[in-house]
Amino acid sequence: MTDIAVTVPAVKVNGQSRPLDGVATHATALDWLRDTGLSGSKEGCAEGECGACAMLLATPDADGGTAWTPVNACLVPVYALDGQEIVTAEGLGTVDDLHPVQEKLAEAGGSQCGYCTPGFACSMAAEYYRPDRTPVAEDDETCPVHDAEHGPNGFDLHALSGNLCRCTGYRPIRDAAYALGSPEADDPLQQRLAAPAPAPAATDAVVDGSRFLRPSTLAETLRILREEPTALVVAGSTDWGVEVNIRGSRAPFVVAIDQLDELRGLTETDEYVEIGAALPLSEVERRLNGRIPLLAKLFPQFASRLIRNRGTFGGNLGTGSPIGDTPPALLALDARLVLASADGEREVDLAEYFTGYRQSVRAKDELITAVRIPLPLAAYTAFHKIAKRRFDDISSVAIGFALDVEGGVVTRARIGLGGVAATPLRARATEEALIGRPWDITTVKAASAVLQGEGTPMSDHRASSDYRSHMLGTALLKLYSQTVIASKEVSA
């Protein structure tokens, strides 16, 4: 992000620029849209779990053009959209001129009470315009008969994973998605993709004594944090947005870092992979393209696509939550964090980062700027998330595994745990019970007994302490069975 002049805050909505004059700095995009008369987006949960508020955000693609990215309007601070471009359900089509997505939803009977429909339409439209969505040949074995999560038109059903239909009308919604063709060449939203996405805007808004600031450089950000160490730092705002909506939290000074170029890189050296702390998880997933298998297993289980389109590693680690999904996986990967302040950078082992419940070694004037994952990677990795729902749920227990086995003996073991203590932690006793021993059922059973006693799990509304301990005790057995099956498939 280069140095640019601060202008009057405004957002381009459905092709029209709308100023943010006098809007409260804590206001979400959803509240602002509805206050300006665009009531198609709905507030269902105000936590990012239902997708009734979904809208399309114009974001940069890999080729210098634009991608339509669906996000939860209920979580995004509206000032974070200063200078940006969004499309709501009203911008897709009209009653007299329906968008193809709206048309297919109507034809399939995909709308019952209709409350969720605008959000579904926006998420579905993003997938409709995905450039690499290609139909599947009829004789291809990846047709829907063999793959229930992709349609014959190439539609990825996970594109709707963050949208909830309380009327349980999923089948007609899926039918509508699978009936979509390809965008016409003269489709305005399709044509828009060829042009660059809006550049980030430096923002400084003060309303009723509260301030929202988007600095233009990392150096400026660190200087501000040195001067104002109590400022609230937000990136994707998928955590802070919930606090604003559900708990009525307000911050007198918010500093947005989501558009800083210095925090949005992804580089790979001979020694490590470095991931920018403010790079959205969906973008990390796209750029890695499976190169870190453990993260590839994590991403589909991390909330929903709508959340991953805004959420970041820096935010998930910065909150210090003991039930965040990324820490167990990153602990297993031996990750290190790069912390920066006005005085310079330092590198911290993630296993030493957390010091207590939502507490860490990070000073108030420091930022997490990057996550470094050392190379080479372990041969056997897995991510186990125990939750009440398969997708889009908070974990009761999360476990990351990374093991090396040579000559039938475990030579290296890293196990990260979440949800079983006041902080994410390494299962060091279990690691010691594995290293140097044969990778066989006897060793696994003995180590499983140790793993069951790791941490200090508590009982809450998600799970009892006994259940959490039991899940720990079965996790290593599950990993072992998976490696045995994989070995048989390779030898066959």
Query: Residue 7's pLDDT is what?
Result: 72
Dump pLDDT digits (tens) for 448-460: 999 999 999 999 9
Token pair, residue 164, equals 């909830």
Considering only CA atoms, which of 240, 238, 235 is closest in space to residue 370? 235
Q: What angle do CA 195, 200, 201 make, to 5 degrees?
A: 125
Query: Residue 485's pLDDT is what?
Result: 72
Q: Do 417 and 427 form a contact (C-beta atoms < 8 A)?
A: yes
Distance CA 257, CA 242 (A): 18
What ranges in 36-169 are assigned the alpha helix state H?
A: 89-92, 100-108, 117-128
Query: Residue 6's pLDDT is what?
Result: 55
Token pair, residue 64, equals 């210098």
pLDDT range class, residue 489, cuts 50, 70, 90: low
Residue 366 DSSP SS3: coil
Q: Is 81 a residue whose pLDDT tops 80?
A: yes
Tell me the torsion sign for CA atoms 168, 169, 175, 181.
negative
Q: Is 2 a residue whose pLDDT tops 50?
A: no
Query: Residue 125's pLDDT is what?
Result: 98
Q: What is the mean pLDDT of the chain?
A: 94
b/e for 460-482, b at 16 or more Cβ within 10 A?
Answer: eebbeeeebbbbbbebbebbbee
pLDDT range class, residue 340, cuts 50, 70, 90: very high
Considering only CA atoms, which of 388, 286, 348 is closest in space to residue 63? 286
- Residue 22 burial (10 A CB sphere; 0-12, 13-18, 19+): exposed
Q: Do 144 and 152 form a contact (C-beta atoms < 8 A)?
A: yes
Strand partners, 405: 410
Tell me the torsion sign for CA atoms 382, 385, 389, 393.
negative
Considering only CA atoms, which of 51, 49, 30 is closest in space to residue 118? 51
Q: Do 307 and 48 form a contact (C-beta atoms < 8 A)?
A: yes
Mean pLDDT calculated for residue range 232-239: 97
Distance CA 38, CA 17 (A): 14
Share of the chain above pLDDT 70, in %: 95
Phi and psi angles of residue 435, each rounded to the nearest 5 degrees, phi first? -65, 130
* pTM of the predicted structure, to 2 decimals: 0.94
Residue 78 DSSP SS3: helix
Considering only CA atoms, which of 276, 237, 288, 283 is closest in space to residue 69? 283
Query: Residue 306's pLDDT is what?
Result: 97
Q: Is 483 a residue whose pLDDT tops 90?
A: no
Token pair, residue 72, equals 């939860």
Query: Residue 327's pLDDT is what?
Result: 98
Mean pLDDT calculated for residue range 66-71: 98
Mean pLDDT calculated for residue range 133-137: 84
- Mind listing the domains of the chain with CATH numbers? 8-197 (3.10.20.30), 262-374 (3.30.465.10), 380-491 (3.30.390.50)
b/e for 295-329, b at 16 or more Cβ within 10 A?
Answer: bebbbbbbbbbbbbbbbbbbbbbbebbbbbbbbbb
Dump pLDDT digits (tens) for 177-190: 999 999 999 999 99
Mean pLDDT calculated for residue range 101-115: 95
Considering only CA atoms, which of 166, 138, 169, 162 is closest in space to residue 152? 138
Query: Residue 490's pLDDT is what?
Result: 56
Q: Do 197 and 60 form a contact (C-beta atoms < 8 A)?
A: yes
